[in-house]
Amino acid sequence: MSGEVAKAVMFVGTSSSVGKSILATALCRILAQDGYRVAPFKAQNMSLNSAVTPSGREIGRAQAVQAEAAGILANEHMNPVLLKPTAGRTQVIVQGRVWDTLSAKEYFLAGKDRLWPYVVESYEFLSSRWDVVVLEGAGSPVEMNLKSRDIANMRAAELANAAVFLVTDIDRGGIFAAIVGTLQLLTPAERNLVKGIVVNKFRGDKELFVEGVRMLESYTGLPVVGVIPHLGDLGIDEEDSVGLDNPRYRLPQGQEEIRVAILQLPHLANFTDLDPLFLEPGVAPYFATEPAQLAGADGIILPGTKSTMADLEWLFAKGWQKEILRLVANRKHVLGICGGYQMLGHVVQDPHHQESQWDERAGLDLFPALTGILPEKRTVLSEGVLQGPFSGLKVKGYEIHMGETTLIGPDAPLPFAVLRKEVAAQSRSDGAISSDGRIIGTYLHGILHNDAFRTAWLNEIRREKGQSPQPVRVLTAQVRTQAYDRLATAVRSHLNMDLFYQLSGFN
């Protein structure tokens, strides 16, 4: 199909969190398995879970995952508009670069009209280079007070002339009203783009829903192309913080070898950094929502945040620092990632008021470090070699931050890693590590996806507890590959693929 305009298939939902991202990921994998060159596309995404492309651009994590499932490298055109809410405002990322920071009202009234040309440019970039583009909508396509300015749903579908499939979450209930109501509120032209219905997250015996399928088809005149079962613990990155409602992230009740508490910061970002810990046998990671839940933890992680200043204010106001410092005094391990690393230092300064109206906030003072929030954001893939107790281990990750941290004073710790500069053969330092290795700070998102480091870090905790060290027990790259294949197999077996291809114009 080289040189031709790509076919386009799109999932829109009757509401948020009906499973559009997961189904788009599955379809990217299925189409790739079936021999098509496929790319994902989401015109506008709102998420604090993001990723960095090989070209150093920032996009929504879901589109990076979908690209990986399709077997291709991610690029900035797969998610031309990314919204990252912060304290009272939203950072607008356009084609991978910071475009502006706006209030909700400013974006609602003016921002979207100015952004549509970028959406068109990015879609045309993909359409001219791949056989199929899999589009994903956002929320519902019929939020009537927002619809005239909606660039993520039916306007994108019309741009692509996409075969649209309406996805609904039966686990929530009310799907008949949701489906019929959504279709009724579409314009005739939009309605003509909808080719079928997908019922998602079904629990129980599908034979008992046969009559429901017949009624849906009779009432809407559209075929139900699939009834997809509820697929739990897929091992695939969550799109946004709604995923934290999963009980697997809560305080464990068992007697696991190791308990790792993760602070659930108000502006938590890139929490997929922690996913590999949830795969480790004998390890019980959990998101702590109050200081008392740190009791009994063997390790503490301060994750990334979109607003270090606001989350530092919250951390001190709620008394977290007392519990953290108590555990440090008891020789527990602490890992700070990106904004979490900034919090470990002496002070964070925001002279340009990029994140807040405060000039500075005191940190936990676990490192003699000064962080300044800068106007320019750094987004880059990085790799290098660790220092200190983990000396010689090679790691990879990505950086997304607007801060620069400087280690100060005669007692400044070793850097955590020496990274290769992305252009020249020069190197640069990242993060900090205490002499005993118990306190670590790094700007590297994805650090725990490095199997050797994650195992070594957990083994240090095991050693402190008098337990035997363990070999690498989880290969994250292999887990991800298997997860994509497992997802594709599950969706393929419950989606009428012959009908889906026919309705999408493949036959």
- Give the active site residues: 338, 445
SS3 88: coil
- Report how far residue 9's alpha carbon sits from residue 497's, in angstroms, rounded to the nearest whole number: 13
Helices (H), 36-86: 61-70
Residues sharing a CB contact under 8 Å with residue 432, sequence separation 6 or more, in sequence order: 341, 344, 367, 369, 405, 407, 412, 413, 414, 415, 416, 439, 440, 441
SS3 122: helix
Q: What angle do CA 94, 99, 103 make, to 5 degrees?
A: 110
Nearest of 438, 447, 450, 365 to residue 408 by alpha carbon: 365
- Report how far residue 107's alpha carbon sits from residue 88's, in angstroms, rounded to the nearest whole number: 12
SS3 304: coil
Residue 424 near residue 390 (C-beta atoms within 8 A): no
Please say whether the dihedral angle defined by the alpha carbons of residues 11, 13, 19 and 21, taken in this order, is positive or negative: positive
Q: 422-461: string of b/e by CB count within 10 Å (b at 16+)?
A: eeeeeeeebbbbbeebbbbbbbbbbbbbbbebbbbbbbbb
Rg (CA), the chain: 23
391: its two tokens: 């000396």
- Report how far residue 327's alpha carbon sits from residue 335's, in angstroms, rounded to the nearest whole number: 13
The residue type of 44 is Q
Q: In the block, which residue shows the tokens 């979908």?
A: 66
Residue 91 CA, chain-centre distance (Å), reads 16
Count the helix, strand and coil residues of the chain and give each as a percent rounded to the nearest 5. 35, 30, 35
Length of the chain: 507
- What is the DSSP code string of 92-117? EEETTEEEEEE-HHHIIIIIHHHHHH
- Half-sphere exposure of residue 376: CA atoms within 13 angstroms, side-chain side: 4
Print the SS3 string covering 145-205.
CCHHHCCCCHHHHHHHCCEEEEEEEHHHCCHHHHHHHHHHHCCHHHHHHEEEEEEEEECCC
- What is the DSSP code string of 242-268? GGGGSGGGSPP-S--SEEEEEE--TTB
